[in-house]
C-alpha cells in the first residue's frame, strides 16, 4: 500500500502536512502576536505616566515634610516602574519616619538593584533632603 491515499483524482493526502499549511499557521500566529503586543505597549506607556505622577506627588509631599504620604507615592511609583531610584526615595522616607529596619532594607534593595552600574551612592545623596528623580 502506498503512503498516499487518493480522494479525488489529482489530490493526494499524505501523513505529512504541506509547507503551505505551516506558512499559513506561521502567518496567523505572527499577526496574533502583533495584536497581542500592541496593548502591552499602551499599558507600559500608561505605567510610565502613572509612575511619573506618583513621583511628582511623592516629591511634593517630601518637600512639604509629609514623609508618610511621600512614602506611599514612591512605593506606588516603584510598583509601576521598577526604577531603582524609587527604592532610594523609599529608604529616605522610611528613615525620616523612624523606620530604621525598613530604611535599611530599602537601601540594600537599592544598592542591589544598582549593582554593576556607575552611579555612586554619594553622588545621589549630594544635595539631600530633596529626593532624586527616578524618572530621568
Q: Give residue limits of the domains in the chain.
A: 44-125
Alpha-carbon span 15 to 11, nearest angstrom: 13
- Whole-number pLDDT of residue 24: 72
- Whole-number pLDDT of residue 136: 45
Backbone angles phi, psi at 6, to 5 degrees: -90, 130
Question: If we measure between CA atoms, which residue out of 41, 42, 119 comes closest to residue 87?
Answer: 119
Task: Name the CATH architecture for the domain at 44-125.
Answer: Alpha Horseshoe (1.25)
Question: If we measure between CA atoms, which residue out of 134, 133, 129, 132 comes closest to residue 65?
Answer: 129
pLDDT mean by block of 10 residues, the chain; 136 residues: 55 57 68 53 72 94 95 94 90 94 91 66 54 55
13 pairs with which residues across the strands? 5
- Whole-number pLDDT of residue 25: 72
- Whole-number pLDDT of residue 60: 96
- Whole-number pLDDT of residue 56: 95
- Count of CB atoms situated within 10 Å of the CB of 89: 27
Question: If we measure between CA atoms, which residue out of 51, 126, 49 comes closest to residue 84?
Answer: 51
* Model confidence, pTM: 0.56
Amino acid at each position: 500500500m502506498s503512503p498516499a491515499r487518493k480522494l479525488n483524482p489529482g489530490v493526494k493526502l499524505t501523513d505529512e502536512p504541506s509547507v503551505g499549511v505551516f506558512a499559513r499557521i506561521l502567518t496567523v500566529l505572527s499577526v496574533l502576536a502583533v495584536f497581542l503586543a500592541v496593548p502591552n505597549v499602551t499599558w507600559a506607556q500608561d505605567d510610565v505616566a502613572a509612575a511619573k505622577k506618583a513621583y511628582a506627588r511623592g516629591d511634593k509631599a517630601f518637600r512639604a515634610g509629609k514623609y508618610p504620604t511621600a512614602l506611599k507615592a514612591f512605593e506606588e511609583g516603584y510598583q509601576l516602574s521598577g526604577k531603582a531610584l524609587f527604592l532610594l526615595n523609599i529608604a529616605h522616607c522610611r528613615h525620616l519616619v523612624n523606620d530604621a529596619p525598613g530604611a535599611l532594607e530599602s537601601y540594600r534593595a537599592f544598592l542591589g538593584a544598582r549593582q554593576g552600574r556607575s552611579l555612586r551612592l554619594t553622588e545621589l545623596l549630594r544635595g539631600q533632603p530633596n529626593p532624586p528623580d527616578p524618572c530621568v
